[in-house]
Amino acid sequence: MVFGIGEGKIEIVLPKLNYTYGEKINGKVVLTLNQPKNAKGLRIELRAERSVWKNKMSGGKSRQVHKIETVYSFVLPLKGEGQFSSGEYNFEIIIPYLGLQQEESPAMKIGPFSFVDPNSRPLAWYLIASLDLPLSFDINKKLQISVSQGTQ
């Protein structure tokens, strides 16, 4: 195949998709390859992102620019460089409490009034599995999970 397209696939298997801060994610990465491949490594990443709008000055004019900011990233190597065949790789990752304001709700309070800050959005959490193939497109899978405060 050309540049790794159609070389195989990668899946992330979880017992559930809803988690709370401090909870452990126990899952597995399932790698399905058409034939054994030499790779730089297999990894799983836990990432929190936030969608933001920022003012940008250009030519004396201000305009809104949309960006995705990575607020948190933790990469867990599952296997180092070598030959990979189809198989399953277990992982455990604990979801940290980031202590950021407005993680759950972008509402702000000023005196008796509340409003939603248009520049701040809740965090989006993802698990991203990746097989790093040299001189080829990596085989990736991105899975969104829900992370909340839980019951108090």
The structural domain count of the chain equals 1
- Which CATH number is 71's domain given? 2.60.40.640
Distance (Å, rounded) from C-alpha 7 to C-alpha 112? 58
Whether the per-residue pLDDT at 86 is higher than 80: the answer is: yes
Question: What pLDDT, on the 0 to 100 scale, is given for residue 102?
Answer: 44
Question: What pLDDT, on the 0 to 100 scale, is given for residue 64?
Answer: 79
Question: What pLDDT, on the 0 to 100 scale, is given for residue 53?
Answer: 78
Question: What pLDDT, on the 0 to 100 scale, is given for residue 152?
Answer: 45
Whether the per-residue pLDDT at 83 is higher than 80: the answer is: yes
Who's near 146: CB < 8 A, 6+ residues apart? 17, 18, 19, 125
Residue 142 lies in domain? 2-148
Percent of the chain with pLDDT over 70: 80
| Block residue for tokens 């988690």 | 19
> What's CA 1's distance to the chain center, in Å?
28
Nearest Cα neighbor of 124 from 58, 46, 63, 60 is 46
Count of residues in the chain = 152
Question: What pLDDT, on the 0 to 100 scale, is given for residue 58?
Answer: 77
